[in-house]
Amino acid sequence: MSTSQSPPPGPSQQPPPQATTSSQPDDLEVVTDDNDSDYSSIDSEIPFSTPNLPPSMTTMMIDSLFTTPPPLHDPLITPTSTLQDETLSDILPFLSSSPLPPDLFTYNAYNVPSLRREAHIAFLHASLGRLPGKFVAADASRPWFLYWCLSGLAMLGEDVSRYRDSVKETARSMQNGSGGFGGGGGQLSHLATSYAVVLALAIVGGEEGFEVIDRRQMWRWLGGLKQRDGGFEVSVIITLLDLPLDLTPESPAYKPDDPSFNLLSGVADYVRRCQTYEGGISSSPSAEAHGAYAFCALGCLSLLGPPSITIPQTLNLPSLLSWLSSRQYAPEGGFSGRTNKLVDGCYSHWVGACFPLIEAALANSPTPVNDSLFSREGLIRYILNCCQDETKRGGLRDKPGKMSDAYHSCYVLSGLSAGMHQWVLEDEEWMVLPYLEGEQVFENADRVRPVHPVYVIPQGAVRAMRGYFRGKGGFN
Amino acid sequence: MLSIVCLQAATTTVTTTKPSAPAAPSTNNNNNASKQPEKEEPSTVAELSRYHFELCHPFEGKRSTTQADQLVWLASRLVTRLPVRFLGAKGQKDLWKTVNEHSLPARGFNLRKYKKRQQQHKGVDSRGRDIGEYTAKEWGIRQEKRVTLSCLQLQSQRFRELRDRQKRGFVDYQTGDQVLVTDSEYTEEKQRRREMERLSRELYGAERMARQGKLALDPEWDDVVPIVMEDPENALAAIAYSPDYAEAMSYLRAVMSAKEYSPRSLKLTEYIINLNPAHYTVWLFRAANIFAMKLPIPDEITWLNQIALENLKNYQIWHHRNLLVEHYHPSIASDPPALASFATSEREFLTQILAEDTKNYHVWSYRSWMVGKLGVWGNPEELRSTEELIEQDVRNNSAWSHRFYLVFSDPENCTPGEKYAATEADPKVPGEIVDREVAYAEEKIRLAPQNQSGWNYLRGVLVKGGRGLSSVREFAEEFVKGLGEGEEGEEVRSSHALDLLAEVYKELGERERADLCLRRLMEKWDRIRGGYWQWRREGLELAEVAA
């Protein structure tokens, strides 16, 4: 969906954290927004009253949905089915028994292990530190490491404002005079890395950090990139930095005879062309539907206007929803990224985080969403049972047998947050509440902080950055 | 004048006092000298030079000597330094006699040289061994290496001068030919520098020597000043680069900022791509080099193929290929045979790489883009090779997706200009194409009814062809028997058939049957999606109310 190359790992997305001063999840009973002093709190605290679990006495039966193979299984064997069957047999023990090391995990009455908050926090802090030489493949995507780690830390309740100076310095070292940010010093500016840097600066907050961004140059640079198609990343940068939409005459897309053609013109139409016959969204108009692009598409449309208008106007919503819903598998509970592919923790975000946007899109329709469109229990079980690293390393992962990494940590946590909360869009303001329907299979202590459903960073961080730049008026 | 007085005094003393065997201190029997035999023979160079020094510097060394010895030594110093002729012939003669008789072991010992040597004995070699600990023999070997290194440095200097002359267009004064640095001289110089690097490291170790990277050692890069960049001290997620990588990047920054498009720049990009193929900047610079130097695109694609096979999950490779084809296309666009042959070679390679990784998103995305760019939707080979992948694995959704693109984006079969979205009917799709594709999907679904790829394709075809879903009612019902008739009576072979039937019945106004499908999906056949099925059921009710 972006106008130039996509970043190395995965597509172009953002995760989310919630910056807060305390990391105790129980705080959530009173606070949903970060209360970092730096953020101007607009719609401050939303009172939460989270019912706690019944005291764990005897282990409750796990729904057989999550412990037995699916009811329908074709006898025909192909490479896809072989891989799926093998993966399922690897995952099933994690879902039905308690195979995780008891010194690192405690199981609750629902046979769901606790979130190893401290271990994940330590892993993400370490991932922001000096990386060994084998990370050279990440040399062009260091801004993503900043974003993934900071966002993940914020979701885990860590105060990340201590990174203000270092994010600022790091961002400077990646900045080009042209206005954009590259993957590191001396690298060309790139939309994806610029997007990640802007989000990282927003997460840690602080006006000094915001001031690193040269908005006028950024605006010119974006105009220079503008082609007839557009992207989610551009929309995010524009809205966060409160940039004008006009194109300068130097832009290759500038139309002297059509002054209304701007930075975001044609974006919605491009998104429309990316919907495939399956209902999902692809990276470009001729490719296969893929979870990451579904989120980018919905996020982008939600920034172009009210999602209840832009999304149904642009996309075939019923077929998109059908496709999104098909991404959740049982008994795994997690999401896959494409038809007939395996579940992977990162799609907890790419697919899972689509649902709040879909709900917003359906809000004013004849068929609003009354309940959850996906199995929250399934997703939460998958994440807590299968996506937590089982060693001292910490961090979150794709599935059992895989190594944890910053990318998965961020997006698995975002998915977990999507599973634990629900969002309502009222008067252009997103409001979050804990999801309270049905049984809650996780402990309150495991609740992670919500993140903005489009920017995937703490809501307060979004407000602070937008507010700051809006307040400036113009480029001064 | 004072000096003369002193000299006289000294001479007098020397001549009147008989020094006792100054030349053989080890045999001296005075107190101080008696300690000497206990001292071991000097074995290391440091000890040796210390020994020599002490022999000759009775006032400076630890070795104490008798007063007589000291006077002899003093005389020996004077005799070489002062204008002894002022002493007169006699005085001179006596002085020389004294000195010669008591000939000191290192009469001509040079303090400056000694101090210099002492310097050389300081420090450690590349293995961390104290150089002072060397034996004389080892020291000799080391000195030989130093000489060799100096010679190589001279030769290297000569090479640089020669190259400089070539650059300025000098002419050899003897032969009248242009000064020319030959390839073999380049190669020799390269080897020479490696040898110099090796010797230097051996002699001086890593500590005292900035490491010379591969490029710094390559004469080809002598005129480039690398742009070294270091992360700020508190940079986050900073990577501990290998020295080779850090050096290569600093040269890349230099040639990029000079916009140097040259064979060596191209070679540098290849070198860096091998170290880190995910570096988008270097790929873009490589493309710029190729276009600026007008290098043949097919050669670059051949080179790229190998890199792609070695890095299956890399995205930048495919973006590069995309740029290459974009650039190459105009030159073959009006030459159908060239276009066809290029499309064939692309397909052959894509088939090869998809055999390694049948659902690779980058490869498939490139493939569909390439088909559109070259306009080969209708190429029967393209369809056949896609079909082959579906034959191998009917669940390969990427192949199904590509098939849909080939069939329904073919300008022969659709309204141009992407007027209709993929989820919309296109009146220009020929009926026989729809028939053919429906039949294809149905055949494949029968092989594995729970395979969603086939069902999604079938739906997609029906929608595109403007046919109602109810046109496949009978087909879908093959997979569902006795719905809602209890555990025994109900036989469902595909949840996707149920899903489709729910819509078929809705389309036909059979709301209750539609709801039954959704309910059974919710209760039994696809429970994980219960919330979604419930939402569909609510929609169904609403549709009826509206009706």
Q: Which residue has the higher pLDDT, A67 or B544?
A: A67
The conformation of residue B523, written as its DSSP 8-state character, comes to I
Min CA distance, A67 vs chain B (Å)?
A: 12
Residue-wise burial string across A99-109, b where 16 or more C-beta atoms lie within 10 A, e elsewhere = ebeeebbebbe
Task: Return phi, psi of residue A424, to 5°.
Answer: -130, 135
What is d(CA A212, CA A164) in angstroms, rounded to the nearest whole number? 12
Question: What's the CATH code of the domain at A286?
Answer: 1.50.10.20
- Chain A residues closer than 8 Å to B542 by CB: 366-367
- Chain A residues closer than 8 Å to B241 by CB: 133, 136, 139
Same domain, B116 and B148: no
What is d(CA A1, CA A285) in angstroms, rounded to the nearest whole number? 10
- Chain B residues closer than 8 Å to A372 by CB: 531
Min CA distance, A469 vs chain B (Å)?
A: 25
Residue-wise burial string across A5-16, b where 16 or more C-beta atoms lie within 10 A, e elsewhere = bbbbbbbbbbbb
Task: Identify the pLDDT of residue B133.
Answer: 85
DSSP string, A379-445: HHHHHHHHSB-SSTT--B-SSTTSPP-HHHHHHHHHHHHHHHEEEEEETTEEEEEE--SS---S-GG
* Candidate from A172, A188, A278 with C-beta closest to B281: A188
* Candidate from B235, B316, B539 with C-beta closest to A170: B235
**Are residues B236 and A319, on separate chains, in Cβ contact within 8 Å?**
no
Q: Given a cut of 60, is residue B21 above it in pLDDT?
A: no
Task: Identify the pLDDT of residue B263.
Answer: 96
* Candidate from B281, B392, B535 with C-beta closest to A369: B535
Task: Return phi, psi of residue B369, to 5°.
Answer: -65, -45
Give the count of alpha carbons within 13 A of B489, CB side only.
5
**Are residues A287 and B421, on separate chains, in Cβ contact within 8 Å?**
no
Q: Residues A263, A226: contact at Cβ < 8 Å? A: yes
Three-state SS annotation for B425-470: CCCCCCHHHHHHHHHHHHHHHHHCCCCHHHHHHHHHHHHHCCCCHH
Q: Given a cut of 90, is residue B80 above it in pLDDT?
A: no
* DSSP H helical ranges for A129-245: 142-155, 164-174, 191-204, 207-210, 215-225, 232-241
Residue closest to A156 by CA, chosen among A15, A354, A351: A15
What is d(CA A374, CA B211) in angstroms, rounded to the nearest whole number? 58
Min CA distance, B394 vs chain A (Å)?
A: 7
Q: Residue A366 contacts by C-beta under 8 Å, 6 or more apart in sequence?
A: B539, B542, B546
Same domain, B378 and B522: yes
Whether a cis peptide bond, with omega within 30° of 0, leads into A331 is yes
**Are residues B531 and A322, on separate chains, in Cβ contact within 8 Å?**
no
What is d(CA A269, CA A275) in angstroms, rounded to the nearest whole number? 10
Q: Other C-beta atoms within 10 Å of B11: how many?
A: 22
Q: Number of H helices and number of E strands within chain A?
A: 17, 2
Q: How confident is the model at residue A54 (pLDDT cuts 50, 70, 90)?
A: very low
Give the count of alpha carbons within 13 A of A213, CB side only.
32
* Candidate from B236, B395, B530 with C-beta closest to A146: B236
How confident is the model over B93-109, as pLDDT tens digits? 877 777 777 665 545 55
Q: Cβ-count burial of A442 within 10 angstroms (0-12 exposed, 13-18 middle, 19+ buried)? A: buried
**Are residues A287 and B365, on separate chains, in Cβ contact within 8 Å?**
yes
- Chain A residues closer than 8 Å to B368 by CB: 284, 286-287
Question: Residue A55's domain spans which residues?
Answer: 25-130+138-472
Give the residue from chain B lying closest to A377, CA to CA.
B528
A371 carries an active-site annotation: no
Q: How confident is the model at residue B296 (pLDDT cuts 50, 70, 90)?
A: very high
Residue B493 lies in a domain: yes
Q: pLDDT averaged over chain A?
A: 87
DSSP string, B154-208: HHHHHHHHHHHHHHTT-B-TTT-PBP---HHHHHHHHHHHHHHHHHHHHHHTTTS
What is d(CA B504, CA A243) in angstroms, rounded to the nearest whole number? 48
Same domain, B535 and B467: yes
**Are residues A273 and B240, on separate chains, in Cβ contact within 8 Å?**
no
**Are residues A186 and B463, on separate chains, in Cβ contact within 8 Å?**
no
Q: Residues B319, A5: contact at Cβ < 8 Å? A: yes
Which residue among the candidates A338, A393, A402, A466 is catalytic per the annotation? A338
Residue A84 lies in a domain: yes
How confident is the model over B316-346, as pLDDT tens digits? 999 999 999 999 999 999 999 999 999 999 9
Task: Identify the pLDDT of residue A47.
Answer: 40
Q: Residue B327 contacts by C-beta under 8 Å, 6 or more apart in sequence?
A: B287, B291, B297
Q: Given a cut of 50, is residue B510 above it in pLDDT?
A: yes
Q: Given a cut of 70, is residue A23 above it in pLDDT?
A: no
Task: Return phi, psi of residue A15, to 5°.
Answer: -105, -155
How many A-B residue pairs are in contact by the CB < 8 A criterion?
Answer: 253
Same domain, B499 and B356: yes
Q: Find the mean pLDDT for residues B139-161.
A: 90
Q: Residue B210 contacts by C-beta under 8 Å, 6 or more apart in sequence?
A: none
Residue A144 lies in a domain: yes
What is d(CA B31, CA A359) in angstroms, rounded to the nearest whole number? 105
**Are residues A278 and B460, on separate chains, in Cβ contact within 8 Å?**
yes
- Chain A residues closer than 8 Å to B460 by CB: 276-278
Task: Identify the pLDDT of residue B64.
Answer: 57
Q: Residues A51, A436: contact at Cβ < 8 Å? A: yes
Question: What's the CATH code of the domain at B377?
Answer: 1.25.40.120
**Are residues A287 and B361, on separate chains, in Cβ contact within 8 Å?**
yes
Residue A17 lies in a domain: no
Same domain, B383 and B478: yes
Task: Identify the pLDDT of residue A474.
Answer: 79
What is d(CA B204, CA B199) in angstroms, rounded to the nearest whole number? 8
How is residue B210 written in tokens? 């900035």
How many domains does chain B divide into?
Answer: 4
- Chain B residues closer than 8 Å to A321 by CB: 532, 535
Q: Residues A408, A398: contact at Cβ < 8 Å? A: yes
Residue closest to A193 by CA, chosen among A178, A205, A208, A211: A178
DSSP string, B41-52: PP-BHHHHHHHH
Residue closest to A375 by CA, chosen among A326, A320, A408, A338: A326
* Candidate from B361, B449, B494 with C-beta closest to A290: B361
Residue closest to B33 by CA, chosen among B47, B19, B46, B48: B19
Query: Looking only at Cα atoms, what is the longest distance across chain B?
Result: 144
How confident is the model over A317-374, as pLDDT tens digits? 999 999 999 999 999 999 999 999 999 999 999 999 999 999 999 998 988 888 899 9
How many domains does chain A divide into?
Answer: 1
Give the residue from chain B lying closest to A137, CA to CA.
B276
The conformation of residue B508, written as its DSSP 8-state character, comes to T
Residue B235 lies in a domain: no
Residue B214 lies in a domain: no
Strands A421-426 and B480-481: unpaired
Task: Identify the pLDDT of residue B253.
Answer: 95
**Considering B61, B92, B122, which residue would you say is the last residue of a domain?**
B122
What is d(CA A202, CA A302) in angstroms, rounded to the nearest whole number? 19
**Are residues A378 and B528, on separate chains, in Cβ contact within 8 Å?**
yes
Min CA distance, A471 vs chain B (Å)?
A: 30
Same domain, B83 and B168: no
A344 carries an active-site annotation: yes
Q: Given a cut of 60, is residue B10 above it in pLDDT?
A: no
Task: Identify the pLDDT of residue B464.
Answer: 96
How is residue B136 written in tokens? 């004389």
Min CA distance, A73 vs chain B (Å)?
A: 7
Q: Which residue has the higher pLDDT, B199 or A123?
A: A123
Same domain, B160 and B246: no
How is residue B287 written in tokens? 């493309």
Which residue among the candidates A33, A389, A405, A446 is catalytic per the annotation? A405
Residue B212 lies in a domain: no
Residue A20 lies in a domain: no
A90 carries an active-site annotation: no
Residue closest to A215 by CA, chosen among A245, A256, A243: A243
Same domain, B524 and B433: yes
Residue A460 lies in a domain: yes
What is d(CA B65, CA B30) in angstroms, rounded to the nearest whole number? 8
Residue B246 lies in a domain: yes
**Considering B264, B295, B326, which residue would you say is the last residue of a domain?**
B295
Which residue among the candidates A344, A381, A386, A446 is catalytic per the annotation? A344
- Chain B residues closer than 8 Å to A276 by CB: 401, 404, 422-423, 460
> Torsion angle of alpha carbons B460, B463, B469, B472, nearest 10°?
-60
Distances from the Cα of B531 to the Cαs of A295, A432, B322, B534, B538, in angstroms?
Answer: 20, 20, 42, 5, 11
A346 carries an active-site annotation: yes
A36 carries an active-site annotation: no
What is d(CA A468, CA A38) in angstroms, rounded to the nearest whole number? 11
- Chain B residues closer than 8 Å to A289 by CB: 401
Q: Other C-beta atoms within 10 Å of B430: how many?
A: 12
Give the residue from chain B lying closest to A269, CA to CA.
B421
Q: Find the mean pLDDT for residues A284-306.
A: 95
Question: Residue B184's domain spans which residues?
Answer: 133-204
Task: Return phi, psi of residue B135, to 5°.
Answer: -80, 165
A405 carries an active-site annotation: yes
A38-47, A322-331, B142-151, B262-271: segment of lowest average pLDDT: A38-47
Residue A221 lies in a domain: yes
Residue A3 lies in a domain: no
Residue B197 lies in a domain: yes
Task: Identify the pLDDT of residue B6.
Answer: 41
- Chain B residues closer than 8 Å to A190 by CB: 280
Q: How confident is the model at residue A229 (pLDDT cuts 50, 70, 90)?
A: low
Residue A269 one-letter amino acid: D
How is residue A91 written in tokens? 């995952």
* Candidate from B422, B531, B535 with C-beta closest to A277: B422
**Are residues A374 and B532, on separate chains, in Cβ contact within 8 Å?**
yes
Q: Residues A330, A66: contact at Cβ < 8 Å? A: yes
Q: Cβ-count burial of B202 within 10 angstroms (0-12 exposed, 13-18 middle, 19+ buried)? A: middle
Same domain, B357 and B486: yes
Residue B302 lies in a domain: no
What is d(CA A118, CA A37) in angstroms, rounded to the nearest whole number? 24
Same domain, B315 and B456: yes
Task: Identify the pLDDT of residue B27.
Answer: 38
Residue A8 lies in a domain: no
Q: Which residue has the higher pLDDT, A8 or B186?
A: B186
How is residue B344 written in tokens? 């064939």
Residue closest to A458 by CA, chosen among A200, A162, A211, A191: A200
Residue A98 one-letter amino acid: S
**Considering B122, B153, B185, which residue would you say is the last residue of a domain?**
B122
Task: Return phi, psi of residue A336, to 5°.
Answer: -100, 170
Same domain, B143 and B101: no
Residue B288 lies in a domain: yes
How confident is the model over A167-195, as pLDDT tens digits? 999 999 999 998 999 999 889 999 999 99
Same domain, B108 and B141: no
